[in-house]
Structure 1
């Protein structure tokens, strides 16, 4: 499938083709040790809230593919969401994703900044193309988020009339993400022994989506409270028996 873009985007010819099996994907080291933890936390909360279905694609540091002017371009955002993808043959592992060919367009991509790289803002319009340019003009991803845990910076860009427009947060500092019917914001606290700024989801009622560990702790505390109530009730019953012997 080929899409001819307007002259404003350099007359790019985009071909949606599956990545060849022998294509060597970039194996770049993680630029910031927090990046995998931030990505995992986003997915964990969605899973705990039962918002992930088998037809979705949610991944981190995963290759998104497009062939532009006969050259294969692969970008691997720190976190991505595709509402519906076609299933792969049983026993086959998905090693990359080509929109349109393998399912719906990518709905959300997120980048987590490192101290040494600002490529997330690159609008380079020539091969291999800057990340922002690639998501805006080639993949046309509706939502592009950029997060820097160190400075508690969160920027959300939404595609409007073919261009990214920086969004404004609500009074709680959160950004509406209709693609998931949720809001996205920053939360400072501890996860897995790391105390820092985290990206968190909130539902439409303003309730924080809990991580699985938080939900487990919540259940543990509830069970402990029930145990204590049962123990107090048993003690009270025993006291009544002693004060009113038959």
Structure 2
């Protein structure tokens, strides 16, 4: 295998400050909202620790045979960085600055096919880079137009193996203690397919808009509960007053008959 070749050398070193990064627009209008949705739900659920790094079209680096290689997955998650955050503002080098990403994702665009490129020569393909260079344990490829999701995991031989989803059609990402799946619905005025997270109890990690709706529903439910309680109290008050008047009339009738009612 190429990784055992004497000409195949990986070095983890910081990207030079004068290195010119590509400044190309994203390939697909779906990419930014898909990535933002993944990160937002993690943060709101408290699943994004302060030392974790969620990346969007952000360069992940390695030096292969003395040549810098940078790939920018559409979304990625690094469990822990070990340097100040201002040291990873331009790019991120695993091993040197923190953990290997737990997962990287590519959203298929007009350049379909590059996500599967195992080209080993410089510059290497995405598949080869994630599998053989970074050795990212989870690689997801998502087709936003039809909701097709493929999740690959590194096997014991260091190769990606296509996973079968569970009975809920989700994929366990053990490094995050979460499940990844496809959800169809409305967000940002777009009725489409989205990637969503579920926790180990099967609970969906919500977006901010959903949290707001849930909060409004709780507020409305609390208002209705308070109104129901108020009506119940009023009904009880009226019942007690009716009973008081009934007892008063009965006492008057007994006294009229010469009978002193018991107190």
TM-score of the alignment, normalized to the shorter chain, above 0.5: yes
Match in the other structure for 2:78: 82
Match in the other structure for 1:172: 168
**Which one of 123, 131, 135 corresponds to residue 128 of structure 1?**
123
1:51-105 CA-to-partner distances (Å, cap 9, x unmatched) read: 111111111111000111111111000111111111327x656210001111122
Q: Report the Cα offset of residue 167 of structure 1.
A: 0.8
**Which one of 90, 93, 97 corresponds to residue 98 of structure 1?**
93
**Which one of 196, 199, 204 corresponds to residue 208 of structure 1?**
204
Contact 2:106 2:142 in 1 (8 A): yes
Contact 1:88 1:94 in 2 (8 A): no
Give the 5 Å matches for 1:23-34.
23-34=19-30
Q: Which of the pair is proportionally richer in helix? A: 2
Q: Report the Cα offset of residue 14 of structure 1.
A: 1.0
Q: Report the Cα offset of residue 45 of structure 1.
A: 1.2
Q: TM-score, normalised on structure 1?
A: 0.91
1:143 and 1:242 mapped to 2: Cα distance? Answer: 66
1:126-161 CA-to-partner distances (Å, cap 9, x unmatched) read: 111100011111111111100011121100111111
1:177 and 1:200 mapped to 2: Cα distance? Answer: 12
* 143 and 68 in structure 1: CA distance in 2 versus 1, 3 angstrom threshold: same
Structure 2: unaligned runs, 5 residues or longer: 245-263
Q: Report the Cα offset of residue 214 of structure 1.
A: 0.9
**Stretch of structure 1 that moved more, 142-151 or 208-217:** 208-217
Q: Does 1:183 align with 2:161?
A: no
Contact 2:102 2:176 in 1 (8 A): no
Q: Report the Cα offset of residue 183 of structure 1.
A: 1.0
Contact 2:107 2:143 in 1 (8 A): yes
1:24-50 CA-to-partner distances (Å, cap 9, x unmatched) read: 111121111111111111111111111
1:157 and 1:65 mapped to 2: Cα distance? Answer: 21
Match in the other structure for 1:142: 137
Structure 1: unaligned runs, 5 residues or longer: none
1:241 and 1:82 mapped to 2: Cα distance? Answer: 62
1:104 and 1:203 mapped to 2: Cα distance? Answer: 22
**Which one of 218, 223, 230 corresponds to residue 222 of structure 1?**
218
Q: TM-score, normalised on structure 2?
A: 0.86
1:29 and 1:187 mapped to 2: Cα distance? Answer: 26
2:213 and 2:138 mapped to 1: Cα distance? Answer: 33
Q: Report the Cα offset of residue 118 of structure 1.
A: 2.1
Contact 1:55 1:84 in 2 (8 A): yes
* 102 and 192 in structure 1: CA distance in 2 versus 1, 3 angstrom threshold: same
1:55 and 1:83 mapped to 2: Cα distance? Answer: 7
Q: Report the Cα offset of residue 124 of structure 1.
A: 1.0
